[in-house]
A and B are shown apart, each in its own frame.
Chain A
Amino acid sequence: MNTDNILVKVDNLKKYFPVTRGIVFQRQIGAVRAVDGISFFIRAGETLGLVGESGCGKTTAGRTILGMYPSTAGAIHIAGHDINAAKGKEWLMIRRKAQMIFQDPFASLNPRWTINSIISEPLRVHKLLPTEASRVKRVKELMELVGLSPRLLNRFPHEFSGGQRQRIGVARALASDPAFIVCDEPISALDVSIQAQVVNLLEDLQDQLNLTYLFIAHDLSMVRHICDRVAVMYLGVIVELADHNELYERPLHPYTQALLSAVPIPDPEKDRARQRTILAGDVPSPLNPPSGCRFHPRCMFAQEHCSQVEPEWRQIFPDHWVACHEVK
C-alpha cells in the first residue's frame, strides 16, 4: 500500500454525544454513537469521498476531524500535527490549513455581513494581512478565483443565487490558504445545472492550489465523478473503502451493493433492466446500534455469527478494504 505523502490520518476516531435526562441534576442515560471507530488516511492532492445515508455520522466525522467537536477517542493527524494535542499557535496553524465548505449556502453566510467581511474574516482572525487595503485586494483576487465579479464586494448574501453563495463559501474557505478542505455536501442544495459548475470549480481549484479534499456527500453519482477513493459509512463505522472505479464496479459489502443499486440511472433501458436490491426498513438508531455487524438486521446474507461478532476490517483486493464476515 502506498502510504507516502499522507496529509490527513485518522485512527479509530470516535465521537459520542451524551444523552441526558433531568434539568437540574442532569445524568447521562446513554450516548449517540455518531462516529464509532473509523480509520482512514488521505494523501496530499487526493479527494476522498465519504458517503452514506443521513444519520450515518459522515458530517460528524468531518467536523470532528477539523476539531469543531472534541473527539471522544482516537487520533487525528493533519500534516503531522496531532489535533487533539495541539494548543496555541500550533492549533491556530492547523485551523488555518484545514478549512470547511458547508452544505447550505443559505444558512452558512451571515446575512448582515457584506461579502467582503465574510471572505476576509479568516484573514482578520489569523492576522494574515495587516492593512484593510491589502485585505480588500486579497478578497478581490479570491472572488475572481471562484468566478465572482470583484465589483460585488460590498453586496450582501441575499443578493446572490444559491450557486453564487456557494462560490462565496468556497472563497472564504480559500482565504487562509488551506491545504485540506472538508466539503460537507457542498452541492446538495443546488440545482443540477449549477452543481456541475461548482464541482468543476472545486476540481480546478484543486489542480491550481494542490488542495486535498474530504468530500462528504450522499449523491453517489457525483462522488464517483469527483473522488479518487471512496469510503462508505453505515451507522458510525466505515464498511468499505476502495478506489472509486473499483468500488462502483466491484462492491463487496452488501450495504454498498444495495446503496449502489438504489442510485437511479438516467437511462430508461438500463434503469428498467437492472436488478435492484431494495433494503427493507430504515437505518437503526445510533443510540443503541445492533450488536455484531451493524448492518446484520437489514442484510440478506446475514448468518448467526454476524449478530454476535463485529466483522474485522480486511483487505480483500489491493487497496480494497471491507468489514464483512461473508466476503471471502
Chain B
Amino acid sequence: MVCGMPSILAAGLPDRDEESMMTNLLELKDLRTRFHTPEGTIYAVNGVSFHIADGETLAIVGESGCGKSVTMMSMLRLIPIPPGEILSGSAIFQGKDLLQLSDRELEHIRGQCISMVFQEPMTSLNPVLTVGRQLTESLQVHLEMDKLQARGRAIELLDLVGIADPNNRLGDYPHQFSGGMRQRVMIAIALACNPNLLIADEPTTALDVTIQAQIVELVIRLRQQQGMAVIWVTHDLGVVAGLADRVVVMYSGYIVEEGDVFDIYNRPEHPYTQALLAALPRSDRRRENTRLKSIPGAPPNLLVEPSGCPFAPRCPLAAQDCRDANPVLSPVAPGHRIACWRGGDR
C-alpha cells in the first residue's frame, strides 16, 4: 500500500504480492545513542539492530531505562542533539536511511509513512487547539487537502477509531475527552495519512485495563483493515502476548533476546527474559509459590560505560566470562536469538 494515500483510494489497489510481504519495511542496524549530561555520559542505546516486515507487529519490551523509547526516538531523529548524540547506525526504511535523510525528506516520511503514538494522551495533544484542528493539520500539510476534504477525512478517522458523534466532537478541546478517548484521538491523528508503520510507545500505560483492552482491540482491527506494520513499545509483557508477532527484549540499551512471540513466552532462553516472566503474578492461575520470584539487585547504572554482559550483576548463571565480554546476539533456534554466554549450556 502506498503511504500517504487515504485508505479509500488505496482500497482499490491490488493486494501486495507474496514477495513484497517478505521484504523488510524497516531495518535498523547497530544504533548507538548517548546523552552527554553534566553528570556524565548516559549510554542509552548500545548497538541495537532489528527488522520489521510489512504488516508485521513487533513488540519491544523492557523496563524503564532499557533504551526502548530512545531507540524509537533516535530512529526518527526526535532526540535533541545536543545533549543527545547518535554515534552510529542506519535505519533503512523503504530503501532510504532515515538517519541520513535531509530534514525535509524526513519530514515527509514522519507523519506520512511512519506515525507515532505516545504514552501520555494527556500531554501529547495541544490543549488550546480543537481536536478537529489537530486532526486536519497533518492532512492539510502532508496530503495537501483543502479544508473541506480534510474535515471529511477527519470525521471518517474519528469514526474509524470509535468516537461517537464525530461531526460534533471535532470542535471539542482535548480536556473534553477522557483519557481513553484522547488516546483514540492520538491514534486517529497517527492514522491520518495512512502510514505503513505505526510506532506506539507505551500507548496504554496511563490507561485503565478496560480502556487498555479497548485500545488493543482497536489497534488489532486497524492493523487488519489498513495492513500496516506496528511497533508496540511497552514494559508490560502481558499486553504484548495477545498482540505481537515477534518480540524484542531489551536491557540496558542492548537487545538480549529476540524471537517469535510463542518462543519468547513458551521457551524463553535468556536469563533476564526468564526472570521477568517468572516475576509476573498471573490472574488466571492459583497462587503456587509462597513468594514471587524477584530479580535481585537494581537496574544498571547507565552512566557507566558498559563492559561485559549488562545483566551479569543480577544473573544467577553469571561467571567470569560474562563480566569480561559482552555476548553478541546469536541464534538458538530459527528466528530466535539471544545474547548470553550461557545460552549453549542449557
Contact = CB atoms under 8 A, between A and B. Distances in A.
A200 interface: yes
B209 A218 contact: yes
A258 to B, nearest CB: 6
Interface of A: 53-54, 161, 163-164, 191-197, 199-200, 203, 218, 220-222, 224-226, 245, 248, 258-272, 276, 278-279, 282
A197 B284 CA distance: 21
A292 B211 CA distance: 24
A23 B300 CA distance: 51
B281 interface: yes
B242 A272 contact: yes
B179 to A, nearest CB: 8
B41 interface: no
A193 B238 contact: no
Interface residues of B, number: 44
Contacts of B276: 192-193
Given A161-B298, A193-B275, A199-B292, A268 B208 contact: no
A197 B237 contact: no
Contact of A265 (B261, B275, B282): B282
B295 A53 contact: no
**Chain A interface, >50% SS class:** helix
Given A191-B235, A200-B294, A221-B282, A268 B262 contact: yes
Given A193-B299, A248-B283, A259-B210, 9 more contacts: A191-B64, A196-B295, A224-B283, A226-B281, A262-B212, A264-B236, A265-B284, A271-B241, A272-B242
Interface string B113-141: 00000000000000000000000000000
Contacts of B63: 191-193
Q: Output the residue of B209, B236, B237, B279 with the most chain A CB within 10 A.
A: B209
A177 B93 CA distance: 60
Given A191-B63, A282-B180, A265 B292 contact: no
B94 interface: no
B49 interface: no
5 contacts: A192-B279, A221-B281, A265-B283, A271-B242, A282-B178
Nearest to B314: A193
Top 10 A-B pairs ranked by shortest CB distance?
A264-B238, A196-B294, A271-B242, A225-B281, A262-B213, A193-B295, A196-B292, A53-B208, A191-B63, A221-B283
